[in-house]
Amino acid sequence: MANVDQPGLQDLSQGLSPEQKNFFRMFGFLKIEGAFANEIAQIDEGFEETYVDEENFIKQNTGYLHDGQDRHINMMILDKSPKLSWLKDDSRIHAMTRSLMPGEYEFAGSDGSMFWCDTGWHADLYGAPLDQFHLKFSMYLEPLTHETGAIRLIPGTNHYNTGFAKRLRDTLDNVADVYGVPGNEIPSWTLTSNPGDLVLWNYRTIHASYGGAERRRLLSMSFRELVA
pLDDT reading at 2 higher than 70 = no
Quickly list DSSP for 172-211: GGGHHHHHSS-GGGS--EEE-B-TT-EEEEETTS-EEE-S
Euclidean distance between CA atoms 203 and 108, whole angstroms: 12
Euclidean distance between CA atoms 115 and 184, whole angstroms: 17
pLDDT bucket at 61, cuts 50 / 70 / 90: low
Euclidean distance between CA atoms 68 and 149, whole angstroms: 17
pLDDT bucket at 58, cuts 50 / 70 / 90: confident
Q: Is the pTM of this model over 0.85?
A: yes
pLDDT reading at 133 higher than 70 = yes
Bridge partners, 226 (sequence order)? none
Backbone torsions φ then ψ of 26, nearest 5 degrees: -75, -45
- Give the closest residue to 24 by CA, choosing from 131, 135, 119, 138: 135
What residue ranges do the domains of the chain occupy? Answer: 12-225
Give the mean pLDDT of 198-227: 95
Write down the pLDDT at residue 60: 64
Give the mean pLDDT of 106-133: 93
Write down the pLDDT at residue 197: 96
Letter string b/e over residues 134-156, b meaning 16 or more CB atoms within 10 A of that residue's CB: bbbbbbbbbebebeebbbbbbbe
Backbone torsions φ then ψ of 35, nearest 5 degrees: -60, -35
Angle formed by the axes of helices 91-100 and 18-27, nearest 10°: 60
Write down the pLDDT at residue 3: 39
Write down the pLDDT at residue 67: 56
* Top-ranked range on mean pLDDT: pick from 42-56, 119-133, 153-167: 153-167
CATH top class, domain 12-225: mainly beta
* CA dist list (Å): 108 to 15, 43, 90, 152: 20, 20, 15, 23
Give the mean pLDDT of 170-183: 94
Query: What amino acid is encoded at 49 in this protein?
Result: E
pLDDT bucket at 55, cuts 50 / 70 / 90: confident
Tens-digit pLDDT profile for residues 62-86? 555 545 567 899 999 999 999 999 9
Quickly list DSSP for 37-89: TTTHHHHHHHHHHHTSSGGG-EEE--HHHHTT--EEEEETGGGG-HHHHGGGG
